[in-house]
Homo-oligomer: A and B are copies of this chain.
Amino acid sequence: MATGRTHRPATRSRGIPEATVARLPLYLRALTALSERSVPTVSSEELATAAGVNSAKLRKDFSYLGSYGTRGVGYDVEYLVYQISRELGLTQDWPVAIVGIGNLGAALANYGGFASRGFRVAALIDADPAMAGTPVAGIAVQHTDDLDRIISENGVSIGVITTPPGAAQQVCDRLVAAGVTSILNFAPTVLSVPEGVDVRKVDLSIELQILAFHEQRKAGEDATAEDEGAPPMRATPAGRKGPDGDMPAVMPA
């Protein structure tokens, strides 16, 4: 019944701050690029610039992993690539299942960035019987009925949800029941999961709205005298709202 925690426990894992963990992939990407150019070492300053962060922050981040640098020289690129990869668990292979093969699901399946590092699309699952067997990105789509079997047979522990919002929670529950303990949710829904299951969400609509907020603010800075718009009279509780029908009766993403 999907009655569980909704937010991550913020369990400070093994002393590495969550904020640092979130930046490690950034460093890894920059380091990989350097590695491909056969650059042997980098200073914290250079690497920080490449990763778009502060150099002090980068050094502190690395200090949580250990002392991998050489003073007066910098960091050994190859060595650091390996250390971060190991820390992130990318030295092993993670089979991933994508549930909901619509526009987005198919796009993700085709996305090259998946297989690039440690991740492998192990299964595509959809509720539409007509899609069963259809190959997407070279992989045959399987039906939701077999979800349990698919997950366990492939040893999938990371699931990606790209279903319509209405189906997301149900799919989530089934994934968790089948053994998935990490979920990447693209559906615009708040997922409830039991403790011990990690959920990360990617929400286009939310990102756009945040941008819109700042955009509006920027536009409003010039015209400070700008009228706030017609402040519709307070809709007295249990009463009626403004006559000008201010309500956008539109459904959100």
Chain A residues in contact with chain B, CB under 8 A? 6-7, 13-14, 21-22, 24-26, 28-30, 32, 36, 40-41, 50-53, 65-68, 70, 73, 76, 78-79, 81-83, 85-92, 94, 96, 103-104, 106-108, 110-114, 116-119, 157-158, 181-184, 188, 190, 192, 196, 198, 200, 202-218, 228-229, 232, 234-238, 241, 246-253
B210 touches A200 (CB 8 A): yes
B209 touches A90 (CB 8 A): yes
Q: Which residues of B contact A89 (CB under 8 A)?
A: 212-213, 215-217
A250 touches B117 (CB 8 A): yes
Copy tally for this chain in the complex stands at 2
A82 touches B238 (CB 8 A): no
Q: Which residues of B contact A202 (CB under 8 A)?
A: 202, 204, 207
Min CB distance, A83 to chain B, in Å? Answer: 8
A82 touches B212 (CB 8 A): no
* Residue among A24, A89, A91, A108 having the largest count of chain B Cβ atoms under 10 Å: A89
Q: Which residues of B contact A237 (CB under 8 A)?
A: 40-41, 70, 73, 76
B78 touches A247 (CB 8 A): yes
Determine the distance from Cα of A142 to Cα of B25 in the docked complex, in whole angstroms: 34
Determine the distance from Cα of A22 to Cα of B203 in the docked complex, in whole angstroms: 11
In the complex, which of the residues B21, B110, B200, B213 contacts A21, with contact meaning CB atoms closer than 8 Å? B213
In the complex, which of the residues B13, B228, B246, B253 contacts A112, with contact meaning CB atoms closer than 8 Å? B253
A253 touches B188 (CB 8 A): no
In the complex, which of the residues B29, B36, B200, B234 contacts A211, with contact meaning CB atoms closer than 8 Å? B200
Chain B's closest residue to A199 (CB) is: B211
B252 touches A28 (CB 8 A): yes
A113 touches B253 (CB 8 A): yes
Min CB distance, A134 to chain B, in Å? Answer: 16
B117 touches A248 (CB 8 A): yes
Q: Which residues of B contact A218 (CB under 8 A)?
A: 181, 196
Contact sample, A vs B, 8 pairs, CB 8 Å cutoff:
A40-B235, A40-B237, A41-B238, A73-B238, A91-B246, A113-B253, A116-B205, A184-B211
A184 touches B207 (CB 8 A): yes
* Residue among A65, A81, A203, A253 having the largest count of chain B Cβ atoms under 10 Å: A253
A24 touches B205 (CB 8 A): no
Determine the distance from Cα of A34 to Cα of B114 in the docked complex, in whole angstroms: 37
Determine the distance from Cα of A80 to Cα of B65 in the docked complex, in whole angstroms: 45
